[in-house]
Chain A
Amino acid sequence: MNLYKTGTSGTTIALVVVLVVVVIAAGAYIALNPGGTTTTTITNTSVATTTATSTATSTATSTATSTATSTATSIATSTLTSTYTSTSTLLQTATVAGAGGTLVFPLMSTWLYTFNQLQPNVQVNYASVGSGAGITDITKGTVNFGESDAPLTSAQYSALPSGSTLLTVPISASGVVPAYNIPGFPATTHLNFTGDVLAKIFLGQITTWNDPAIAALNPKVTLPSNAIVVIHRSDGSGTMYAYTNFLSDSNAQWKSQVGTSTTPNWPVGTGCKGNEGVAGCIENNQYSLGPLEIAYVLTNSNLIGVSINYGAVQNHAGNFILASLSDITLAMKAGVTQGTPVPQGSTPWTGWSIINNVYNDSTDTGIYPITTFTYALVYESLSASYTGFTSQAQATATVSFIWYCVNQGQTAGANIGYAALPANVVASDDTTLSLVTYNGLTLLSGS
């Protein structure tokens, strides 16, 4: 017994020693190389905030007074036109911290890497903490830019620092598809859905697959009589925001009872964590149905068409569209030209969505109706006071990064399931970004 006990404690001590060494090594590594990991981001965020108060005021004011308006404009123009095409115009050394939604994270990771290749002096970090937390962080000024899958609510707008203007910049878009698992259906069979039928399924009013309402949309398919196992996301997500937005537009009862939300109170169904959780729950349960993000569907061909399939959704023109990236780009294009005009400059975005705009009024017959923007959030007037910026270099780097995402960064999305912003959205984003100033100096000139 004694022998045994000594053995245990010896091993334990050895394990602890190894663990401590590993932790210290990891800590040292992270401290020396501020990389793109979440841990590092958090560290950098706090550093940015603490230094903001001490150094910013003096540096900022001196730059503001000494640099003439003409100089600022010339810097701005050169940044916009030549920075990214040649490496000759390098931005000054700066660290930029961002935080927000998880929907955009795979694309954001690509952007962080490619932007750093072009601008090695600039280190951009992004914490994928959720849209709500991203809004909280930008409200408190602990990050240089926020990110959200939904525009700010009026409560969130009123929580912003007084006198501030938060700009909303669409940086990418995603679509939501109804995914299901019905054994025996060939991969090429895609069921048709309407918003109203989906709403009734998620309200618990349609409970079986062979319900006349579903059958009427799918006359060529023999539907099983099994009960529909309803699946949805459990974690708050922009995907669910877009999906419930579409159901709200499609069904009056859904709108009044549940409404549009990142964390709705689902009348029926099972909540699974993340896209991978929803996919797993659908895969494991025959006759299940749940909303999945298009990026997940397009990048998981091992699942989709094998154990999971997804349906087409009817748009305003009456066509059933099986989501593809080009249909989503079409929806973005239409979304910003039809219906409620895109809020300009400092106008609040509360309640604005592509879905609302294309739901009632779509001249384009090929748009995918469940399409949603994800937004970068940045203050219009950057300074040390509430936005926590420490230098003009940091402000320029922040705006340049978002500009890069909106313009050159868009091509990066195709491989990982993100649709490119159409030209009209890019143009409107560029105009918005040109409003951003640092201590009164314009950072980018308009497009």
Chain B
Amino acid sequence: MNPNKRIRKRGIGGDQILKGMVAAAAISIVALLIALAIELTNGASLSLTTYGLPFLFSTTWDPNHNIYGALPFIYGTLVTSAIALLIGLPVSLGVAIFLSEKAKGHRLAAYVLGTLVELLAAVPSVIFGLWGLFVLSPNLRTYVEAPLHKYLGFLPIFSTTPIGLDYFIAGIILAIMIIPTVSAVSRDVLNAVPNSQREAMYSLGATQWEVIRKSVLPYARSGIFGATILGLGRAVGETMAVTFIIGNSPAISASLFAQGYTLSALIVNQVGESTSPLNASAIVEIALILFGLAFVINVFARLFVVRLTRGARFRA
């Protein structure tokens, strides 16, 4: 009895210390987040009190005349992120399915390919930006945008004469940038699907496609959704690459080939050159909006995942 007791006592002491340490680490993150929100609100207070809510819906950004509005930037951020998801998600899913289902017999190949995809995530975004500007933009403009404009120019989304700096190309760059994140996480999620799920389907005579579509993907959908949100988070906040190829024009256009602007691009373009306290404050408010947008996206994603998993449980 006695030795046992001693051991337990010592254990509790260590536990307490560890608990304190990890709790401090956890709390510091919360504190950091709160401090960030407070600091942003503080910095933006001048702009918030001067312009109020109309700041969100005004479309002019003119530091020289102290007129500020955030709508073109919010619009640009949402449009480019949407394009990124629309293009990036199917490709990422394809990569994930290939790596987890199709390449199973070839572990080395899957490993090499998987590592390469992850390496893509390590490429600094400014390199994507320069590559986008000098390589991707002229080629996409000539071989994709120009024909689309020529033959489908009557559609509002293709109506602008393309110059290679627009929502569309910014969206493509973002798609390329989110693919590594989304596909790596999705692959891990698919790998985590129990083999019993697959075996059960095969035993019923299902083809591989049917197994993937009806068994693997539904089982993994909340995880895939989480991966998508991670990607969306990156797309919304991405700065350098987009700044190079979005065209940086604070306008709102239905055409994907028109020049736009994003929240993060505005911050990086103008934060060093504010000419008045009001100007600086308006830029901080843009940062606050970006912060809020990322926050809202994450909260909605959480709620959606919770609903999804509950639905799955009910069906099971």
Contacts and interface: CB of A to CB of B under 8 A. Distances in A.
Interface of A: 1, 3-5, 7-8, 11, 102, 129-133, 136, 153, 155-156, 159, 227, 229, 234-237, 258-266, 269-273, 277, 280-281, 284-285, 288
Interface string B267-301: 01111111111001000000000000000000000
Interface stretch (B26-34, B131-139, B209-217, B220-228): B131-139
23 contacts: A4-B107, A8-B114, A129-B272, A130-B272, A132-B271, A153-B275, A155-B277, A229-B163, A234-B265, A235-B243, A262-B275, A265-B61, A265-B65, A269-B249, A270-B165, A271-B269, A272-B244, A272-B248, A273-B243, A280-B133, A280-B134, A284-B138, A285-B164
B110 interface: yes
B269 A263 contact: yes
B64 A264 contact: yes
A153 B66 CA distance: 13
B247 A270 contact: yes
Given A1-B191, A258-B64, A259-B65, A277 B276 contact: no
Nearest to B242: A273
B63 interface: yes
Interface of B: 60-65, 67, 104, 107, 110-111, 114-115, 129, 133-134, 137-138, 141, 161, 163-165, 191, 243-244, 247-250, 259, 261, 265, 268-277, 280
A395 to B, nearest CB: 27
The 10 A-B pairs at the shortest CB distance, nearest first, are namely A130-B272, A236-B273, A271-B248, A234-B248, A265-B62, A261-B64, A132-B273, A235-B269, A155-B276, A133-B272
Contacts of A262: 273, 275
Given A156-B275, A280-B133, A273 B247 contact: no
A285 B129 CA distance: 17
A236 B65 CA distance: 15
A426 B19 CA distance: 66
Contacts of A131: 272-273
Contacts of B62: 264-265
B249 A271 contact: yes
A435 to B, nearest CB: 26
Given A133-B272, A235-B270, A7 B163 contact: no
Nearest to B164: A284
Contacts of A261: 63-64, 275
A11 B119 CA distance: 12
A296 B188 CA distance: 48
Nearest to B162: A285
B148 to A, nearest CB: 17
A7 B65 contact: no
Contacts of B164: 284-285
Given A236-B269, A270-B163, A132 B274 contact: yes
Contact of A265 (B129, B250, B274): B250
A8 B165 CA distance: 38
Nearest to B275: A153
B273 A235 contact: yes
B268 A235 contact: yes
Contacts of B114: 8
Given A235-B268, A263-B64, A265-B64, A284 B275 contact: no
Contacts of A260: 64
A398 B216 CA distance: 67
A236 B272 contact: yes
B131 to A, nearest CB: 11
Given A153-B275, A261-B64, 12 more contacts: A4-B107, A4-B111, A129-B272, A132-B273, A235-B243, A263-B269, A265-B67, A266-B249, A271-B247, A271-B249, A272-B248, A273-B248
A271 B244 CA distance: 9
Given A155-B275, A155-B277, A280-B133, A263 B270 contact: yes
A260 B65 CA distance: 10
A102 B114 CA distance: 40
A132 B275 contact: yes
A130 B272 CA distance: 5
Contacts of A235: 243, 268-270, 272-273
**Quick one: which of A132, A229, A260, A262 has the most chain B CB within 10 A?**
A132
A175 to B, nearest CB: 20
Contacts of B248: 234, 270-273
A37 B67 CA distance: 36
Given A4-B111, A265-B63, A130 B191 contact: no
Contact of A277 (B111, B244, B274): B244
A1 B192 CA distance: 9
Nearest to A128: B272
A11 B115 contact: yes
A270 B249 contact: yes
A39 to B, nearest CB: 16
Nearest to A153: B275
Contacts of A263: 63-64, 269-270, 273, 275
Contacts of A3: 107
A30 to B, nearest CB: 19
Q: Could you say which of A229, A260, A266, A273 has the most chain B C-beta atoms within 10 Å of its C-beta?
A: A273
Contacts of B138: 284
Contacts of B280: 132, 136
B121 to A, nearest CB: 12
A133 B138 CA distance: 34
A153 B276 contact: yes
B111 A132 contact: no
Contacts of A7: 111
A153 B134 CA distance: 37
A19 to B, nearest CB: 10
Contacts of A153: 275-276
Nearest to B276: A155
A2 B265 CA distance: 43
Contacts of B110: 4
A115 B271 CA distance: 30
A132 B269 contact: no
Contacts of B115: 8, 11
Contacts of B275: 132, 153, 155-156, 261-263
Contacts of A11: 115
Contacts of A271: 247-249, 259, 261, 269
A272 B269 CA distance: 10
Given A155-B276, A155-B277, A277 B270 contact: no
Contacts of A258: 64
A67 B92 CA distance: 72
A284 B110 CA distance: 38
Q: Which of A5, A136, A227, A235 has the most CB of B within 10 A?
A: A235
Contacts of B191: 1, 4-5
Nearest to B66: A155
A183 B161 CA distance: 19
A288 B164 CA distance: 12
